[in-house]
Amino acid sequence: MSDKIRSVDPATVEMLEKIGDMSTMFSRAEEMKVCTFGSEGSCCRVCAMGPCRLGGKSKNGREKTGVCGATMHTVAARNLARSVAAGASAHADHGRAVAMTFLAAAKGEAPGYGIKDETKLMVVAGHFGIETEGKTVQEVAIALGEAALAEYGKQTGTPMMYVKRATEKRKKIWEELQIFPRGFDREVVQLMHQTHAGTDQDAEHILMSSVRCALADGWGGSMMATDLQDIMFGTPKPLRAEANLGILKEKEVNIILHGHEPLLSEKIVDSATSPEMIEYAKSKGAEGITLGGICCTGNEVLMRRGVGPAGNVLQQELAIATGVVDAMIVDVQCVFQGLVEVAEKYHTKVITTNERAMMTGAEHIQFDEHNAIETAKTIVKAAVDNFANRKGDVFIPDHKKPMVAGFSHEYIKYMLGGKFRGSFRPLNDAIISGRIQGAVAIVGCNNPRTTHDDSHRFLVEEFLKRDILVVVTGCAAQGAAKAGYLTPETMEMAGPGLKEICETVGIPPVLHLGSCVDNSRILTVLNEVVTEGGLGEDVSDLPAVGLAPEWYSEKALTIALYCVASGADVIFGGVGAPYRASSEMMRLTTEGFKEKFGATFEFYPTKEEILEATIAKIQAKRKALGIDTQKERVLFDMEMRRELNV
């Protein structure tokens, strides 16, 4: 074991202590040396003339290139592009699964699924240019489902439907750079094509194509996943829950929902909370059924159903090691193979449910939207039946914190003015007046290469003190929840301005916006804030920064690119830029992006540097907006009133 502190989360610390030298991500990260070439993007393995390790000078003194002559810049850009394509694919394919279920539900072919939020259905249909006047809910839903699916295979070269929602200024930028995303499948396929040996060998061009693919994710796949899920399962509004491994109950059947898609897990929640199943659990000697979430499936069922998060991505193996998890139901993304090995030591059934994500050694029960209720029942029943097989090596860390989650952008608008006056005006006013200095989105994953949850906790606390509003998604959100920061009482930690706003609205100073596809909610909020007025003309004018201090996944890179391209500064922490071997790529993603998008993508290794850089960016934006000093109150005479919009 190295000297690095593995985690600051007490439940994790206690679990690691309990399991001793059992293999986990924490121990394997310590054993596995990072490949230097791979980590900085200088290794090219796209063809069999290589793999080529670039870096340094060749014998005649020239910069080393690949056998084909590809420069370090091309290689680094190509490596990033492939990651972005994979990340975008993950979100887009998630969106596709949702759209297919949505369409089946609209057609009445998916029992158990329906339209929960008709208002949002009409709004989203409007974004897709679907005529709603005089149509039934079902007709609109079918049209929307078809239009959503059509976005995948769109070949016409016209921009995807959602991008119309961006500000005029932003759309003009994308148009000029020719990076309007067209269709998901096309963007991913084309990008992969561009990275084939001997194809696109211009770093900047590869990078801009990566940005276009990322935009297809942010303003397409992710946004669609979020919106269609909201329509089917209900748009989140605040609810209470508890977070961390301490939510598991020794005397109850414990089921963990892990992965990223809520399609099946929604039905599992229905089934596990049904009197029939609870009765069945009791018949097997359990006192009831407890559900817990991990990763973004956890966030999905938290946001809409109040299922408490048992932990974030690095705690998946530890959850099983409590000895009380009777089944861990997994779908896609961030579900690690190490689970099987841990599960073998306990009684836990690891059940894969998605044909995209099978795992050797796990039990597979295929999810089928046409038969979801039955599938869910079978799975819950299997978990209950497994209760009797517990091996006795039980340890549940006594750590859990209360939390409030469920902040959709629709609810944020509502909470600031009610049903009749809902708008972003109070938020804009708070930023203009300086009560709120700015906003940061702390998103993304955990990474065993850094101290688990450390940056999340540190940054939340420091931002709050400085009157900076924090929104969270993904595993970062669970990190903040486990620290107890998602309670309204946390406003006591905030500076006086932010505290006053929290007091007025009744909110925690840290708002949980959902899963990682729900980062699209952040895009919507930023857009609406700009539209509300008083804070510049575009997202790039806002004193807002996106942070992923403990990122690990390719999806994080995709998210970063679509955020920057949308005008938001993004800072990553922990490990360095996966293209840092190329000075040109470093320039293109900082100065280059600044010039094109008004925002940069930067990497800082320590939390302190992230903090400092973020605050500097926020203050610079405030200054540019002219809101760094208090303005005199404007009093309105009749003439001035005539100028006001009614």
Partner 1 sequence: MSKIIATSAIRGAHETVNLAEAKIKEAIDSKGANHEVAFPNTGYFLPVIYALTGEKIEKVSDMEKVLKIAKDLLPEEPSESLWLPYLGGTLDAGIATLFGAEMIMALRYIGIGDAPVTDLYVGAADDVIMRARGVEFVDGSAPGFAAIVGAAPSVEQAVAMARDLQQKNLYTFIAGSTDGVCFADQLVEGGVEIGWDTRLVPFDPHVYGHIYSIGFATRAAMAFGGVQPGDYERTLRYNKNRVFAFVVALGEVDPVKYAAAAGAINYGFPAIADTDIPEILPTGVCTYEHVVANVPFEDIIQKSIEVRGLKIKIDKVPIPVAYGAAFEGERIRKDDLYCEFGGSKSEAFELLLMKDMEEVEDNKIELVGPDLKDMEEKKAYPMAIVVEVAGRKMQKDFEPILERQIHHLINGAEGVMHVSQRDVMWIRVGKKAVEKGFGLADIGRILHTKILNEFPAIVDKVQVTIITEADKVHELLEVARKEYHDRDERVSGLTDENVDTFYSCTLCQSFAPTHLCIITPQRLGLCGAYNWLDGKASFEINPTGPNQPVLKGETLNEEKGEWAGINEYLSRASNGAIQRLYAYSMMENPMTSCGCFEAIIAHLPLVDEDTGDVRSGFMVVNRDYAGQTPFGMTFSTMAGLVGGGLQNPGMAGVGKYFLGSPKFLSADGGFARVVWMPKELKEQLAGILEGQAERTGDPDFLNKIADETNALTMEEVGAFAKSKSHPALSMDMLG
Q: Which residue ranges make up the site for partner 1 (CB under 8 A)?
A: 238-240, 402, 404, 414-423, 425-430, 433, 435, 487-489, 500-501, 503-507, 633-642, 644-646
Tokens 């840290």 appear where? 510
CB of 213: closest distance to partner 1 in angstroms? 37
- Cβ distance to partner 1 smaller for residue 352 or 437: 437
Q: Which residues, in sequence order, are CB contacts of 636 under 8 Å at separation 6+? A: 644
Report in angstroms how near the CB of residue 309 gets to partner 1 at its nearest: 16
Closer residue to partner 1 in complex, CB, 55/534: 534
φ, ψ (nearest 5 deg) of residue 240: -100, 150
In this complex, which beta carbon is closest to partner 1, that of residue 428 or of residue 600? 428
How many residues in total does the chain contain?
Answer: 646
Identity of the residue, 87 or 509, whose beta carbon is nearer to partner 1 in the bound complex: 509
| Spatial distance between the Cα atoms of 314 and 295, rounded to a whole number of angstroms | 9
What is the nearest approach in angstroms of partner 1 to the Cβ of residue 406? 9
**Based on C-alpha coordinates, what's the Rg of the chain?**
24
CA distance 137 to 16: 51
Alpha-carbon distance 551 to 485, whole Å?
20
Sequence-distant (6+) residues with CB within 8 A of 475 are 295, 296, 312, 313, 314, 444, 445, 446, 550
Q: How far is the CB of 644 from partner 1 (least distance, A)?
A: 4
Q: Which is nearer to partner 1, 20 or 418 (CB)?
A: 418
Judged by beta carbon, residue 504 or residue 583, the one nearer partner 1 is: 504
Contact by Cβ (8 Å): 467, 570: no
395 within 8 A of 323, measured Cβ to Cβ: yes
Q: What are phi and psi of 461, to 5 degrees?
A: -60, -45
| 461: Cβ contacts below 8 Å, ≥ 6 apart | 485, 493
The Cα–Cα gap between 96 and 619 comes to: 40
Nearer to partner 1, 212 or 499 (CB): 499
How far apart are the C-alpha atoms of 344 and 317, rounded to whole Å? 11
Residue whose CB is less far from partner 1, 132 or 423: 423
**Residue 472: which H helix or E strand, with range?**
strand 468-473
For partner 1, give the closer residue by CB, 241 or 516.
241
Neighbours of 395 (CB within 10 A): 16
Task: Give me the least distance between CB of 584 and partner 1, in Å please.
Answer: 45
CB 412, min distance to partner 1, A? 9
Query: Which H or E run contains 316?
Result: helix 316-321
Closest to partner 1 by CB, 276 or 637: 637
Q: How far is the CB of 625 from partner 1 (least distance, A)?
A: 17
The tokens of 344 are what?
A: 């073998």
Q: What's the distance, CA 2 to chain centroid? A: 30
Q: How far apart are CA 415 and CA 504, in angstroms?
A: 10
CB of 90 to partner 1, least distance (A): 32
Query: Least distance (Å) from partner 1 to the CB of residue 635?
Result: 4
Tokens of 461: 């606390």
Distance CA 331, CA 355 (A): 9
The distance from CA 208 to its chain's CA centroid, rounded to whole angstroms, is 22
Min dist CB 260 to partner 1, Å, is 27
At residue 9, what is the residue type? D
CB of 482 to partner 1, least distance (A): 16
Closer residue to partner 1 (CB): 92 or 404: 404
